[in-house]
């Protein structure tokens, strides 16, 4: 009977040591799993925060682009209006130049006519 109790004591001793070692091993694994989960949680928070900021920035860029397109359309329209006004101004300047040339020619013809008349008078005297 003593050998049966000795065998039971050895079995319980080995089982206790095995359970204790497994407990320590499981505790270490659990410790590292908790650290990994905390890191994953932190990474998830960071990614979530950055995604929100990116969405906000993207919305701002999209708004700026829309405003820029609107501004570009206005600028193009202003440029076209300016070109039309410039064309009108150039055409107006051409008309003014033509009218001015006409009056200069008319004035020159009057002066030439006066000179011819005065020459004729001098010649007749």
Give the model confidence (pLDDT) of 70-87 as tens digits: 565 666 666 666 656 655
For 39-74, write each residue's pLDDT tens digit.
999 999 998 898 888 888 878 877 777 766 556 566
- d(Cα 105, Cα 99) in Å, to the nearest integer? 10
Q: Measure the CA–CA gap between 9 and 85, rounded to whole angstroms.
A: 111
31: closest CA among 23, 20, 41, 19?
23
pTM: 0.42
């Amino acid at each position: 009977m003593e050998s049966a109790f000795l065998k039971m004591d050895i079995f319980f001793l080995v089982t206790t040591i095995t359970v204790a070692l497994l407990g320590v091993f499981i505790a270490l694994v659990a410790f590292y799993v908790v650290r990994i989960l905390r890191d994953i949680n932190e990474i998830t928070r960071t990614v979530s925060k950055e995604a929100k900021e990116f969405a906000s920035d993207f919305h701002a860029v999209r708004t700026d682009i829309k405003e820029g397109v609107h501004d570009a359309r206005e600028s193009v329209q202003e440029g076209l209006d300016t070109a039309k006004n410039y064309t009108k101004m150039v055409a107006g300047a051409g008309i003014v130049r033509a009218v001015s040339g006409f009056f200069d020619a008319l004035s020159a013809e009057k002066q030439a006519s006066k000179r011819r008349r005065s020459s004729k008078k001098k010649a007749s005297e």
